Amino acid sequence: MTTAADGPSWSDIATWYDGLLRAGSGPHETATACLLGLISQPTGAEVLDLACGQGLATRALAGAGARRVVGVDASAAMIELARTHDSPPGLSYVQDDAQRLARFDDAGFDGVTCQLGLMDIPDLDATLASVHRVLRPGGWFAIVIGHPCFLAPGALTAMVAGRPAVTVTGYFDERFWRSTNPNGVRRAGNHHRTVSTYLNALVRSGFRLEAVDEPIAGPLLARQQPLYREVPIFFGARVRRPEG
């Protein structure tokens, strides 16, 4: 069984990850477009960006008009790298564990985002409870995750009738896994969970589902990985903490 101990951590690959994004990453371009598309009104909002990494989505949220954006990540190395980027006013970074958000008060944010982070965090229920707690009643939570159907551990790519395709085995086998690709993001490991597990956990945590998205590849990703013109690379959703 693969465990978090037998491979690189996010801090170990933080410098590499920052270089990947600085060079222009098709998956990340598509993820951020999906995230911003799910948030109808970031203008003037106070937003917590969970598992912010080097701050790609954090900066995009500030650029889209959020009044205050706080990026939070468990990795000190990621937070350090995030602070090296030019940042618009109103943006700051805090090192903390998304499963507790111990450094944040209750009901302090209008919105919370998590771009490509939920599948990297071991305790999904604890994380969703923390998000619910730090959101104001009526606040929204927008997520983008690797699409569990197509980025599953047993996914294999192939050409079928001249088009890129993916076959999947073991979809129901929820577990921690690592990609064996030495240049892949998922060599840092992630938790495979089914789509139903994510949606049921959100509902169980008290959120109301408002919108979902399965984005087609943006221009850069379509060039880098044409497979994602055929199947979605990501699954996105916006949920809301009900008023009262």
Ligand X SMILES: C[S@@+](CC[C@H](N)C(=O)[O-])C[C@H]1O[C@@H](n2cnc3c(N)ncnc32)[C@H](O)[C@@H]1O
Is the CB of 164 or the CB of 179 nearer to ligand X?
A: 179
Stretch that binds ligand X, among 39-47, 69-77, 192-200, 212-220 (CB under 6 A): 69-77
Contacts of 209 (CB under 8 A, 6+ apart): 199, 202, 203, 237, 239
Whose CB is nearest to ligand X?
53
- For the window 144-173, what string marks contact with ligand X as x by the rule CB under 6 A? ------------------------------
Out of 27, 69, 75, 231, point to the residue binding ligand X (CB under 6 A): 75
Is the CB of 97 or the CB of 214 nearer to ligand X?
A: 97
Is the CB of 78 or the CB of 239 nearer to ligand X?
A: 78
For residue 177, what are the β-bridge partners? 190
CB of 135 to ligand X, least distance (A): 17
Query: Helix (H, G, I), strand (E, B), or coil: what is residue 46?
Result: strand
Does 74 contact ligand X by CB under 6 A?
yes
Contact 209/202 with Cβ under 8 angstroms? yes
- Map the footprint of ligand X across residues 96-135, applying CB under 6 A: 97-99, 115-117, 120-121
CB of 224 to ligand X, least distance (A): 16
The span from the CA of 93 to the CA of 56, in Å, is 12
CB of 42 to ligand X, least distance (A): 16
Out of 13, 36, 78, 135, point to the residue binding ligand X (CB under 6 A): 78
- Map the footprint of ligand X across residues 179-218, applying CB under 6 A: 185
CB of 134 to ligand X, least distance (A): 13
The span from the CA of 99 to the CA of 97, in Å, is 5
How far from the centroid of its chain's Cα atoms is residue 119's Cα? Answer: 7
Cα dihedral sign for 114, 116, 119, 121? negative
In DSSP notation, 153-212 reads TEEEEEEETTEEEEEEE-TT--EEE----TT-GGGG-EEE--HHHHHHHHHHTT-EEEEE
Does 232 contact ligand X by CB under 6 A?
no
Contacts of 118 (CB under 8 A, 6+ apart): 51, 124, 127, 143, 145, 198
Does 239 contact ligand X by CB under 6 A?
no
